[in-house]
Structure 1
Amino acid sequence: MSDPMEEGATSGWFSDETATFGDRVTGAREAAGMTREQLSARLGVKLKTVAAWEDDMSDPRGNKLQMLSGMLGVSIPWLLTGQGDGPEGPDAAPRSEVAPLLAEMRQLQADLGQIAGRMGQLEQRLRAATGSTAQQEMAE
């Protein structure tokens, strides 16, 4: 079996023909310098969930896929298909003082996605509440 980090692999480290979703998650997590435990804590999922993703036993839901992409610094299309922006190769690994900054930026990107989702929910509730109030006033 070929090594997914061989020379000649497309878009980052992995060959589209050989790498699975789980392989790409594992590779991106390792390139980001995170353990499974760290990733699961940052995503707010159980360790066994991350393990299942990496072992190709299950796939994340859309919101977790978006967070995963942001935290690992890779594009969603790359995670799903291997096409797009993947992690930097081993020779381009960030210096030790840059890695924590990149990790914090990834966390903020993920937080922003969660906040945007929450704002959307609140907006829907507000529209429903103001629509109900307006309808009640018209009926009086």
Structure 2
Amino acid sequence: MYIDSPDTFYTTDDTIGGRISLARDANGLSVEAAALAIGIAAGTWIDWENDRDAPFPDRLVMIAEALGVSLAWLVSGRGEGPTWITSDNASAFRPD
């Protein structure tokens, strides 16, 4: 993955597995928690992240929803990707 600046990520050259991993990390989820969120085995999720297998289209929708990214971003790297929580924007993610 190429990082142009601290705030800009270009993921069009990455794989679906790489984007799944990136979005899971951005959300601070473990593999187990992410897999549980869509009702699959953790080993299946790991296979997807490592490009040893690919999710079926219906699972892509579930993954995108669980990780808070657009389906377009998950499939192509273009669209609404993950929001990284940093010290600069952490207050926006804290409950009132």
Task: Give TM class, smaller chain.
Answer: 0.7 to 0.9
Instruction: Quickly say closer, same or farther: Cα 1:51–1:96, change in 2 above 3 A.
Output: farther
Instruction: Quickly say closer, same or farther: Cα 1:26–1:57, change in 2 above 3 A.
Output: same
Give unmatched runs, 5+ long, in structure 2.
none
Query: In percent, how many aligned pairs have the same letter?
Result: 29
Q: Give the helix-richer structure, 1 or 2.
A: 1
Q: RCO greater where, 1 or 2, for CA within 8 Å and sep 6 or more?
A: 2
Q: TM-score, normalised by structure 2?
A: 0.80
Q: Give the strand-richer structure, 1 or 2.
A: 2
* Aligned with 1:46 (options 26, 41, 44): 41
Pairwise CA distance, 1:39: 0.5
SS at match of 1:7: strand
Q: TM-score, normalised by structure 1?
A: 0.57
Q: Is the 8 A contact 1:14 1:24 kept in 2?
A: no
Number of aligned residues: 95
Give unmatched runs, 5+ long, in structure 1.
102-140
Instruction: Quickly say closer, same or farther: Cα 1:41–1:67, change in 2 above 3 A.
Output: same
RMSD: 2.9
Point out the structure with max Rg over C-alpha. Answer: 1
AA partner of residue 16 (structure 1):
T
CA–CA separation in structure 1 for the residues paired with 2:75 and 2:46 = 17
Q: Is the 8 A contact 2:11 2:78 kept in 1?
A: no
